């Protein structure tokens, strides 16, 4: 099973001037096997939602709830969330100098599975996952994300997705900065993950291009800290043609 349920989530970020409210009542349920795309203007809070779900300490949950298969996610530490099956591919993946990709992923896999994968099969699996993302096997020995190009970082995130095989994957602008071939390769990786069944995807994106490869079941418009419209793939086409203007205006009118 994989059911992520977000209810009336309010979140603020700590700033020098005090707490600033970013999420203002997010409601979203991702059921088994569903792909949800979130689109919205810059600064509307999409990454804040992704980080909050992953447990980033910078964000404070003021109210609301998040459950994964009925379990309280907000009560879990970051690694408990990963063990429970949540995975976040970050918009800006962080560099971890001195830690090789293979070791990093083995540690993550061990924590999630509760037992270490055997080194011999693990190296083979890592190399295979890299190969599927058109990354050569030397990436396994390089420091995590250090000196990776923008697109290589994104492909590495999807290699992680394949190896760790979580229940729910949150992909924050994984398509940004990918070349045409990489976009296809990354999309195929996500589609393989979804095709296993019992998996959920939350795909944050600015572009409808990736939605030609990864077919979303639902498209949501995110404005000013909440979801303001929900639809199917036709909604993405509408946004591409018309922009966010009407949603932004409606949100502003509602906030008054
Ligand atoms: N430490 C901080 N101090 C002040 N504002 C912050 C801080 N951290 C985040 N914010 C603000 O929170 C808002 C939401 O940011 P977030 O990264 O979630 O947006 P986003 O929807 O992911 O945008 P994008 O499409 O550009 O990635 C932004 O206005 C951002 O400036
Ligand atoms: Mg963002």
pLDDT of residue 36: 98
CA of 115 to the centre of ligand 1 (A): 37
Give the whole-angstrom CA distance, residue 109 versus residue 103. 10
CA dihedral 169, 173, 179, 182 (to 10 degrees): 0
Instruction: List, for the chain, all residue ranges whose pLDDT scores fall below the cut of 70.
Output: none
pLDDT of residue 12: 98
pLDDT of residue 110: 93
pLDDT of residue 155: 95
> Measured from the CA of 44, which atom of ligand 1 is nearest?
21
CA of 244 to the centre of ligand 2 (A): 16
Domain count, the chain: 1
CA of 193 to the centre of ligand 2 (A): 23
CATH number for the domain spanning 251: value is 3.40.50.300
pLDDT of residue 137: 87
3-state secondary structure of 124: helix
pLDDT of residue 9: 98
- Indicate which residue's Cα is closest to atom 8 of ligand 1: 13
- Indicate which residue's Cα is closest to atom 5 of ligand 1: 15
Whether residue 124 has its Cβ less than 6 Å from ligand 1: no
Give the whole-angstrom CA distance, residue 29 versus residue 112. 24
188 burial (CB, 10 Å; 0-12 / 13-18 / 19+) is: middle
Whether residue 13 has its Cβ less than 6 Å from ligand 1: yes
- Indicate which residue's Cα is closest to atom 10 of ligand 1: 13
Whether residue 226 has its Cβ less than 6 Å from ligand 1: no
pTM beyond cutoff 0.85 = yes
Whether residue 17 has its Cβ less than 6 Å from ligand 1: no
- Domain residue limits at 249: 4-255
Whether residue 205 has its Cβ less than 6 Å from ligand 1: no
């Amino acid at each position: 099973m994989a059911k992520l349920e977000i209810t009336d989530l309010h979140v603020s970020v700590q700033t020098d001037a005090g707490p600033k409210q970013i999420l203002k009542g997010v409601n979203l349920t991702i059921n088994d096997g569903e792909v949800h795309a979130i689109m919205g203007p810059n600064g509307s809070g999409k990454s804040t939602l992704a980080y909050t779900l992953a447990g980033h300490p910078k964000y404070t949950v003021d109210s609301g709830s998040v459950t994964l298969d009925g379990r309280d996610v907000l009560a879990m530490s970051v690694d408990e969330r990963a063990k429970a099956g949540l995975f976040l591919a970050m918009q800006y993946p962080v560099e971890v100098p001195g830690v090789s990709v293979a070791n990093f992923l083995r540690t993550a896999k061990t924590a999630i599975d509760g037992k270490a994968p055997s080194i011999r099969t693990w190296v083979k699996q890592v190399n295979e996952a890299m190969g599927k993302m058109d990354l050569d096997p030397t990436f396994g020995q390089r420091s995590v994300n250090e000196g990776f190009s923008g697109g290589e970082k994104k492909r590495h995130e999807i290699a992680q997705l394949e190896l760790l095989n979580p229940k729910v994957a949150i992909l924050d602008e994984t398509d940004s900065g990918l070349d045409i071939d990489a976009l296809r390769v990354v999309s195929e990786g996500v589609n393989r993950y979804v095709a296993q069944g019992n998996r959920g995807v939350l795909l944050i994106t600015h572009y409808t291009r990736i939605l030609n490869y990864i077919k979303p079941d639902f498209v949501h418009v995110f404005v000013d800290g909440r979801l303001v419209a929900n639809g199917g793939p036709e909604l993405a086409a509408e946004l591409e043609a018309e922009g966010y203007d009407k949603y932004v205006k409606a949100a502003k009118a509602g906030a008054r």
